[in-house]
Amino acid sequence: MYLKHFDMQEMPFAITPDTSYFYSYGSYQEALNVLLVALRSGEGFIKISGEVGTGKTLLCRKALNTLDGDDFVTAYLPNPCLTPAGLRMALADELDIKYARNMGQHRILSLINDRLIELNAEGKQVVLFLDEAQALPDDSMEALRLLTNLETEKSKLLQVVLFGQPELDERLAQNKLRQLRQRITFSQELEAIDINGIAGYLAHRLLVAGYHGKPLFKPNAVEGLYYISRGVPRVINVLAHKMLMVAYGQGASTITLQHLQLAAEDTDGAIPLPASGLARMGTAIVSTMGAAAAAAAISLGA
Protein backbone atom coordinates (compact mmCIF):
# COMPACT_ATOMS: atom_id res chain seq x y z
CA MET A 1 0.00 0.00 0.00
CA TYR A 2 1.43 3.42 0.96
CA LEU A 3 4.07 2.28 3.47
CA LYS A 4 6.98 2.18 1.02
CA HIS A 5 5.84 5.39 -0.65
CA PHE A 6 5.98 7.32 2.63
CA ASP A 7 8.84 5.29 4.11
CA MET A 8 6.94 3.87 7.09
CA GLN A 9 7.26 0.53 8.87
CA GLU A 10 3.56 0.12 9.70
CA MET A 11 0.22 1.81 9.14
CA PRO A 12 0.04 4.74 11.57
CA PHE A 13 -3.73 5.13 11.68
CA ALA A 14 -5.04 1.63 12.28
CA ILE A 15 -8.08 1.59 14.56
CA THR A 16 -6.89 -1.37 16.65
CA PRO A 17 -5.99 -0.33 20.25
CA ASP A 18 -2.18 -0.61 20.03
CA THR A 19 -0.77 0.85 23.26
CA SER A 20 2.45 1.99 21.58
CA TYR A 21 0.30 4.67 19.93
CA PHE A 22 -1.15 5.97 23.21
CA TYR A 23 -1.18 9.76 23.02
CA SER A 24 -0.15 11.38 26.31
CA TYR A 25 -2.26 14.48 25.98
CA GLY A 26 -5.11 16.25 27.73
CA SER A 27 -7.82 14.10 29.25
CA TYR A 28 -6.05 10.90 28.15
CA GLN A 29 -2.97 11.45 30.27
CA GLU A 30 -5.09 12.86 33.08
CA ALA A 31 -7.36 9.81 33.07
CA LEU A 32 -4.38 7.44 33.08
CA ASN A 33 -2.80 9.30 35.99
CA VAL A 34 -6.04 9.30 38.01
CA LEU A 35 -6.58 5.62 37.27
CA LEU A 36 -3.10 4.55 38.37
CA VAL A 37 -3.12 6.68 41.52
CA ALA A 38 -6.57 5.40 42.50
CA LEU A 39 -5.61 1.77 41.97
CA ARG A 40 -2.42 2.10 43.96
CA SER A 41 -4.36 3.64 46.83
CA GLY A 42 -6.70 0.64 46.90
CA GLU A 43 -9.98 2.29 45.93
CA GLY A 44 -12.99 0.08 45.21
CA PHE A 45 -14.74 1.33 42.06
CA ILE A 46 -13.34 3.63 39.35
CA LYS A 47 -15.31 4.79 36.30
CA ILE A 48 -13.96 6.03 32.96
CA SER A 49 -16.58 7.21 30.49
CA GLY A 50 -16.39 8.63 27.00
CA GLU A 51 -18.19 8.84 23.69
CA VAL A 52 -17.80 6.19 21.00
CA GLY A 53 -14.34 6.32 19.42
CA THR A 54 -12.64 8.43 22.09
CA GLY A 55 -10.13 5.73 23.04
CA LYS A 56 -11.52 3.97 26.12
CA THR A 57 -10.26 0.53 25.10
CA LEU A 58 -6.80 1.90 24.29
CA LEU A 59 -6.67 3.58 27.72
CA CYS A 60 -7.83 0.35 29.35
CA ARG A 61 -5.06 -1.66 27.69
CA LYS A 62 -2.50 1.04 28.45
CA ALA A 63 -3.41 0.80 32.14
CA LEU A 64 -3.23 -3.00 32.02
CA ASN A 65 0.26 -2.82 30.51
CA THR A 66 1.41 -0.16 32.96
CA LEU A 67 0.47 -1.89 36.20
CA ASP A 68 3.42 -3.66 37.80
CA GLY A 69 2.98 -7.43 37.69
CA ASP A 70 4.79 -7.74 41.03
CA ASP A 71 2.10 -5.71 42.79
CA PHE A 72 -1.04 -6.28 40.73
CA VAL A 73 -3.05 -9.15 39.32
CA THR A 74 -5.41 -8.01 36.59
CA ALA A 75 -8.54 -9.52 35.09
CA TYR A 76 -9.96 -8.17 31.84
CA LEU A 77 -13.49 -8.64 30.51
CA PRO A 78 -13.81 -6.99 27.07
CA ASN A 79 -17.50 -7.76 26.61
CA PRO A 80 -19.33 -7.89 29.95
CA CYS A 81 -22.81 -8.61 28.55
CA LEU A 82 -22.97 -11.44 31.08
CA THR A 83 -25.41 -12.93 33.54
CA PRO A 84 -24.40 -12.83 37.22
CA ALA A 85 -23.31 -16.46 36.95
CA GLY A 86 -21.38 -15.73 33.75
CA LEU A 87 -19.69 -12.76 35.41
CA ARG A 88 -18.48 -14.85 38.35
CA MET A 89 -17.29 -17.64 36.07
CA ALA A 90 -15.45 -15.20 33.81
CA LEU A 91 -13.68 -13.69 36.82
CA ALA A 92 -12.78 -17.16 38.08
CA ASP A 93 -11.29 -17.99 34.67
CA GLU A 94 -9.24 -14.77 34.67
CA LEU A 95 -7.88 -15.63 38.13
CA ASP A 96 -6.90 -19.16 36.98
CA ILE A 97 -9.36 -20.80 39.35
CA LYS A 98 -10.16 -24.41 38.47
CA TYR A 99 -13.79 -25.42 38.93
CA ALA A 100 -16.28 -27.88 37.51
CA ARG A 101 -18.66 -26.32 34.97
CA ASN A 102 -21.65 -27.69 36.85
CA MET A 103 -20.45 -26.28 40.18
CA GLY A 104 -22.94 -24.20 42.16
CA GLN A 105 -22.58 -20.43 42.19
CA HIS A 106 -22.11 -20.26 45.95
CA ARG A 107 -19.12 -22.58 45.68
CA ILE A 108 -17.62 -20.60 42.80
CA LEU A 109 -17.96 -17.41 44.84
CA SER A 110 -16.23 -19.16 47.73
CA LEU A 111 -13.35 -20.18 45.46
CA ILE A 112 -13.04 -16.59 44.22
CA ASN A 113 -12.93 -15.33 47.79
CA ASP A 114 -10.25 -17.89 48.72
CA ARG A 115 -8.15 -16.90 45.68
CA LEU A 116 -8.45 -13.21 46.47
CA ILE A 117 -7.38 -13.82 50.07
CA GLU A 118 -4.42 -15.85 48.83
CA LEU A 119 -3.30 -13.07 46.46
CA ASN A 120 -3.78 -10.45 49.16
CA ALA A 121 -1.53 -12.47 51.47
CA GLU A 122 1.11 -12.35 48.72
CA GLY A 123 0.90 -8.56 48.73
CA LYS A 124 -0.92 -8.33 45.40
CA GLN A 125 -3.86 -6.10 44.52
CA VAL A 126 -6.46 -7.62 42.21
CA VAL A 127 -8.11 -5.36 39.65
CA LEU A 128 -11.01 -6.24 37.37
CA PHE A 129 -11.26 -4.15 34.18
CA LEU A 130 -14.62 -4.16 32.40
CA ASP A 131 -14.81 -2.62 28.94
CA GLU A 132 -18.16 -1.60 27.41
CA ALA A 133 -19.60 -1.65 30.93
CA GLN A 134 -22.80 0.06 29.79
CA ALA A 135 -23.81 -3.36 28.40
CA LEU A 136 -23.73 -5.05 31.81
CA PRO A 137 -27.29 -6.07 32.84
CA ASP A 138 -28.72 -4.64 36.07
CA ASP A 139 -28.60 -7.94 37.97
CA SER A 140 -24.98 -8.38 36.90
CA MET A 141 -24.22 -4.84 38.10
CA GLU A 142 -25.52 -5.89 41.50
CA ALA A 143 -23.48 -9.10 41.39
CA LEU A 144 -20.42 -6.99 40.62
CA ARG A 145 -21.12 -4.76 43.61
CA LEU A 146 -21.42 -7.78 45.87
CA LEU A 147 -18.06 -9.05 44.63
CA THR A 148 -16.46 -5.88 45.97
CA ASN A 149 -17.87 -6.71 49.41
CA LEU A 150 -15.06 -9.25 49.64
CA GLU A 151 -12.52 -7.55 51.87
CA THR A 152 -10.22 -7.85 54.83
CA GLU A 153 -10.44 -5.57 57.85
CA LYS A 154 -8.09 -3.11 56.15
CA SER A 155 -8.48 -3.40 52.39
CA LYS A 156 -10.68 -4.40 49.49
CA LEU A 157 -9.80 -7.75 47.96
CA LEU A 158 -11.05 -6.67 44.53
CA GLN A 159 -10.95 -3.33 42.76
CA VAL A 160 -13.10 -2.66 39.70
CA VAL A 161 -12.58 -0.26 36.79
CA LEU A 162 -15.59 0.40 34.57
CA PHE A 163 -15.03 1.72 31.04
CA GLY A 164 -18.19 2.75 29.25
CA GLN A 165 -20.06 5.08 26.95
CA PRO A 166 -22.16 7.95 28.37
CA GLU A 167 -25.03 5.48 28.62
CA LEU A 168 -23.16 4.00 31.58
CA ASP A 169 -23.65 7.27 33.49
CA GLU A 170 -27.35 7.17 32.64
CA ARG A 171 -27.59 3.61 33.91
CA LEU A 172 -25.82 4.42 37.16
CA ALA A 173 -28.12 7.41 37.73
CA GLN A 174 -31.01 4.99 38.27
CA ASN A 175 -32.20 4.73 41.86
CA LYS A 176 -31.94 0.94 41.82
CA LEU A 177 -28.18 1.19 41.15
CA ARG A 178 -27.49 3.84 43.78
CA GLN A 179 -25.52 1.46 46.01
CA LEU A 180 -23.03 0.79 43.23
CA ARG A 181 -22.96 4.46 42.23
CA GLN A 182 -22.07 5.47 45.79
CA ARG A 183 -19.06 3.16 45.71
CA ILE A 184 -17.46 4.90 42.73
CA THR A 185 -14.68 6.88 44.35
CA PHE A 186 -13.01 8.20 41.19
CA SER A 187 -14.70 9.13 37.93
CA GLN A 188 -13.08 10.51 34.78
CA GLU A 189 -14.46 11.49 31.37
CA LEU A 190 -12.45 11.14 28.16
CA GLU A 191 -12.85 14.11 25.86
CA ALA A 192 -12.12 14.41 22.15
CA ILE A 193 -8.76 15.87 21.13
CA ASP A 194 -8.92 19.65 20.83
CA ILE A 195 -7.64 21.69 17.90
CA ASN A 196 -4.36 22.37 19.71
CA GLY A 197 -3.69 18.65 20.11
CA ILE A 198 -4.56 17.16 16.74
CA ALA A 199 -1.26 18.13 15.07
CA GLY A 200 0.64 16.44 17.89
CA TYR A 201 -1.62 13.39 17.64
CA LEU A 202 -0.84 12.98 13.93
CA ALA A 203 2.88 13.61 14.45
CA HIS A 204 3.03 11.10 17.31
CA ARG A 205 1.39 8.30 15.35
CA LEU A 206 3.53 8.95 12.28
CA LEU A 207 6.69 8.83 14.37
CA VAL A 208 5.68 5.57 16.07
CA ALA A 209 4.99 4.11 12.62
CA GLY A 210 8.54 4.95 11.57
CA TYR A 211 8.04 8.13 9.57
CA HIS A 212 10.96 10.59 9.89
CA GLY A 213 10.49 12.84 6.87
CA LYS A 214 9.30 16.41 6.50
CA PRO A 215 5.86 17.41 7.87
CA LEU A 216 3.45 15.17 5.99
CA PHE A 217 0.09 16.88 6.57
CA LYS A 218 -0.40 20.42 5.30
CA PRO A 219 -1.63 22.75 8.08
CA ASN A 220 -4.96 23.41 6.36
CA ALA A 221 -5.48 19.65 5.98
CA VAL A 222 -4.88 19.21 9.72
CA GLU A 223 -7.32 21.96 10.62
CA GLY A 224 -9.90 20.59 8.21
CA LEU A 225 -9.41 17.12 9.65
CA TYR A 226 -10.16 18.48 13.11
CA TYR A 227 -13.38 20.15 12.01
CA ILE A 228 -14.65 17.10 10.17
CA SER A 229 -13.68 14.59 12.89
CA ARG A 230 -14.48 16.87 15.86
CA GLY A 231 -11.31 15.48 17.41
CA VAL A 232 -12.65 11.94 17.86
CA PRO A 233 -9.56 9.68 17.56
CA ARG A 234 -11.28 6.82 15.73
CA VAL A 235 -12.69 9.19 13.10
CA ILE A 236 -9.32 10.92 12.79
CA ASN A 237 -7.68 7.55 12.16
CA VAL A 238 -10.22 6.48 9.54
CA LEU A 239 -9.92 9.75 7.63
CA ALA A 240 -6.13 10.05 7.95
CA HIS A 241 -5.66 6.50 6.67
CA LYS A 242 -7.80 7.27 3.62
CA MET A 243 -5.97 10.56 3.07
CA LEU A 244 -2.69 8.66 2.87
CA MET A 245 -4.24 6.19 0.45
CA VAL A 246 -5.51 8.97 -1.81
CA ALA A 247 -2.16 10.76 -1.75
CA TYR A 248 -0.36 7.53 -2.57
CA GLY A 249 -2.71 6.91 -5.49
CA GLN A 250 -1.88 10.37 -6.83
CA GLY A 251 1.85 9.98 -6.21
CA ALA A 252 1.80 12.98 -3.85
CA SER A 253 4.42 13.44 -1.14
CA THR A 254 2.30 15.60 1.18
CA ILE A 255 -1.29 15.40 2.39
CA THR A 256 -3.53 18.26 1.34
CA LEU A 257 -7.03 19.54 1.91
CA GLN A 258 -8.08 17.95 -1.38
CA HIS A 259 -7.08 14.54 0.00
CA LEU A 260 -9.20 15.22 3.08
CA GLN A 261 -12.22 16.13 0.97
CA LEU A 262 -11.92 12.90 -1.04
CA ALA A 263 -11.48 10.86 2.14
CA ALA A 264 -14.53 12.47 3.74
CA GLU A 265 -16.65 11.78 0.66
CA ASP A 266 -15.73 8.10 0.98
CA THR A 267 -16.54 7.87 4.71
CA ASP A 268 -20.00 7.21 6.10
CA GLY A 269 -21.11 9.94 8.47
CA ALA A 270 -18.30 12.34 7.54
CA ILE A 271 -19.47 15.65 6.11
CA PRO A 272 -16.92 17.25 3.74
CA LEU A 273 -16.06 20.88 4.36
CA PRO A 274 -18.22 23.40 2.49
CA ALA A 275 -16.49 25.39 -0.23
CA SER A 276 -16.82 28.54 1.88
CA GLY A 277 -14.71 26.97 4.60
CA LEU A 278 -11.86 25.72 2.44
CA ALA A 279 -10.16 29.06 1.91
CA ARG A 280 -9.76 29.86 5.59
CA MET A 281 -8.39 26.48 6.65
CA GLY A 282 -4.86 26.50 8.04
CA THR A 283 -4.80 29.77 9.96
CA ALA A 284 -5.38 28.33 13.43
CA ILE A 285 -2.62 25.74 13.75
CA VAL A 286 0.20 26.57 11.35
CA SER A 287 2.54 27.40 14.22
CA THR A 288 1.52 24.23 16.06
CA MET A 289 2.80 21.75 13.47
CA GLY A 290 6.55 22.03 14.07
CA ALA A 291 6.19 22.17 17.85
CA ALA A 292 3.90 19.14 17.82
CA ALA A 293 6.35 17.07 15.80
CA ALA A 294 9.19 18.05 18.12
CA ALA A 295 7.13 17.17 21.20
CA ALA A 296 6.25 13.79 19.75
CA ALA A 297 9.90 13.06 19.05
CA ILE A 298 10.90 14.02 22.59
CA SER A 299 8.16 11.83 24.12
CA LEU A 300 9.46 8.84 22.16
CA GLY A 301 13.08 9.51 23.03
CA ALA A 302 13.98 10.33 19.43
Residue 127 — φ and ψ, nearest 5°? -125, 130
Please check the confidence at residue 30 and state whether its pLDDT lies above 90.
yes
CB-CB neighbours of 9 under 10 Å: 10
Topology adopted by domain 26-190? Rossmann fold (3.40.50)
* 275/285 Cα distance (integer angstroms): 20
Nearest to 117 by CA among 147, 92, 152: 152
> What pLDDT digit, counting tens, does each position of 112-139 carry?
999 999 999 999 999 999 999 999 999 9
Whole-structure pTM value: 0.87
Residue 277 banded pLDDT, cuts 50, 70, 90: low
Give the pLDDT mean for 138-149. 92
Per DSSP bridges, beta strands 45-50 and 159-164 are: parallel
Greatest Cα-to-Cα distance within the chain, rounded to the nearest angstrom: 68
- The candidate with the shortest Cα–Cα distance to 129, out of 105, 159, 109, is 159
What pLDDT score does 276 carry?
60
Average pLDDT, the chain: 89
Q: Return the domain boundaries, the chain.
A: 3-16+194-299, 26-190
The model's pLDDT over 4-14, given as tens digits with 9 standing for 90+, comes to 999 999 999 99
